[in-house]
Structure 1
Amino acid sequence: MIGGLGTFALESGRRLFDLVLPPRCKKCGALVVADDALCASCWTALTFLGPPWCACCGRPFEFDIGGDALCGTCIAEPPLYGRARAALAYDDASREMILRFKHGGDESLTRLFARWMVQSGEELFASEPLILPVPLHLWRRVRRRFNQSALIASDLARATGLSWDPLSLERARRTPSQGGLGKTARRDNVRGAFQVRADRRERLKGRHLLLVDDVWTSGATAEACIRACRKAGAAQIDLLTLARVL
């Protein structure tokens, strides 16, 4: 009886709250029917990534050429990661919302983004990897107030029941922003910028890791993180990002 009354009270409270502060689209602010959602117009404007795609890097194919098919880039230059997946294309429709999260401090977008990434990265969770967010340097984290990749990683762990580790991988030196740099310059900028803490190397040794980041541009940051994890003895490293520049 008490449980029923409690449920009724919670539901009544939620409905009252929705009347006072109704849920709004996380992108444009229009009224929507549920929290952490987009309106129909904003939803259809986004480009969600999914099969058919390259079995390795997740780059979309125009036609289905087989579930194990690889793109030309992965054939010519096999990447350091095992598999990579992204939920969205980073384009005009997604850019403002992602930048508002990354640089504008809008943490309310975390659950929505994590939900999309759970769907796009479903196959990566099967081997129960340890989730590692791409770290920020201490001073950049202080300026932003949070590490956006760590926020997403935490919600991914909560949604999948997997463990996550925000401490083992760290940024060993401060680097200039990658914005405006070409592919080669990006690689040079972050070369040797990441390391696994000496007192936590055993935690990663022989493990399957899932590296989590917000936007995949050239892949230079992910490569630098993967090299550091491999040096620490990780067995396999996959990559999951919110968005990808195509």
Structure 2
Amino acid sequence: MRVIAGLSLRMATGLRDIVFPPGCAHCHVRTELHGALCPACWSKLRFIERPFCEILGTPFGYDPGAGMLSAEAIANPPVFDRLRSVAVHEGIARDLVHNLKYRDRTDLAPMMAEWMVRAGGEALSACDCIVPVPLHRSRLFGRMFNQSAELARHAARLSGKAFEPLALVRRKRTSQQVGLTANARELNVRGAFVVPESRASAVFGRRIVLIDDVYTTGATVSSATRALKKAGATDVTVLTFARAFSGPI
């Protein structure tokens, strides 16, 4: 039976590749595999690699040694324990995020999540569960899916970690963060999240990886982290696909 099942799978895959030939997830040029970028697009992604700040994940222009923190992390420590991101939010990385979020390209989520698992590294290996930043139910109804939950679901599958999509609820319908100042973003999401009593055991005493698509000012994930820590989470790592920077890096 296993041989027959394997043969059927290969035949189905071959038929799919004939009907829908593999193409670059960004520019659609022919590629060898589905869910991948062509060499030209891959070379244009600005991955965030070490050396970087151990807390904020901000890249350093030189290697200051292990465990070093950025001036921002020292002067204004975040409420979460650490931030990790795959790439700088520009060019192709920005397009991938927008295509997933606004153009219903949920087929991009497995590829993006695979890179996020790599970026999550030790923090993801050490966590107890993965929690997505939730949408308010009215916005979820309009969009029909939560891009952060899609990324988190695939990251959980790839890493073998528990997926807790209901551990955090957005109880306040907030305005779109795009176009708001940093202070306005913080006010907009203040008190927006809560851990339901029914899911308290999924959070209390646990190390959590909180997943979102983009980190901009940190207002949204900071508000979400406060709710998780109020419910007893011992450690929160924020993991995003892209990271926006206000200046050159």
Normalising TM by the smaller chain, what interval?
over 0.9
Cα 1:205/1:29, change in 2 over 3 Å? same
1:214 alignment partner, SS class: strand
CA distance in 2, matches of 1:145, 1:6: 33
- TM-score if structure 1 supplies the norm length? 0.95
Letter in 1 for 2:228: C
Q: Which runs of 5+ in 1 are unaligned?
A: none
Separation in 2, partners of 1:14, 1:168 = 36
For the pair 1:145 / 2:152, whether they are aligned, the reply is no
Other-structure match for 2:87: 88
The amino acid that maps onto 2:196 is: R
Match of 2:113 in 1: 114
2:59 matched to 1:52? no
SS in 1 for 2:30: coil
Structure-1 residue corresponding to 2:156: 157
Q: 1:233 to 1:5 in 2, by over 3 A?
A: closer
SS at match of 2:64: coil
Q: In structure 2, what is the equivalent of residue 242 of structure 1?
A: 241
Q: CA deviation at 1:172?
A: 0.9
Q: Identity, % of aligned pairs?
A: 38
Query: Using the alignment, how far apart are the partners of 1:108 and 1:118 within structure 2?
Result: 17
| Shift of residue 16, structure 1, vs aligned partner | 3.8
1:63-212 equivalence runs, <5 A: 63-212=62-211
Q: Which runs of 5+ in 2 are unaligned?
A: none
| Counterpart in the other structure of 1:20 | 19
Deviates more, 1:53-62 or 1:200-209: 200-209
Q: 1:122, CA displacement in angstroms? A: 1.4
Q: How far apart are residue 199 of structure 1 and its match?
A: 2.4
Which amino acid letter does the alignment assign opposite residue 238 of structure 2? L
User: Residues 168 and 3 from structure 1, CA distance in 2 versus in 1: closer, same or farther, beyond 3 angstroms?
Assistant: closer
Aligned length: 245
Give the equivalent residue in structure 1 for 2:226. Answer: 227
User: How big is the shift at 1:11?
Assistant: 2.7
Q: TM-score, normalised by structure 2?
A: 0.94
* 4+ long deviations beyond 4 Å: 2-6
Q: Distance in 2 between matches of 1:10 and 1:176?
A: 45
1:91-137 Cα offsets, whole Å, 9 max, x none, are 12322221111111111101011011011111112213311100000
Task: Determine the C-alpha separation between the residues in 1 that align with 2:202 and 2:12.
Answer: 44
From the superposition, tell whether residues 35 and 173 of structure 1 become closer, same or farther in structure 2 (CA, over 3 Å): same
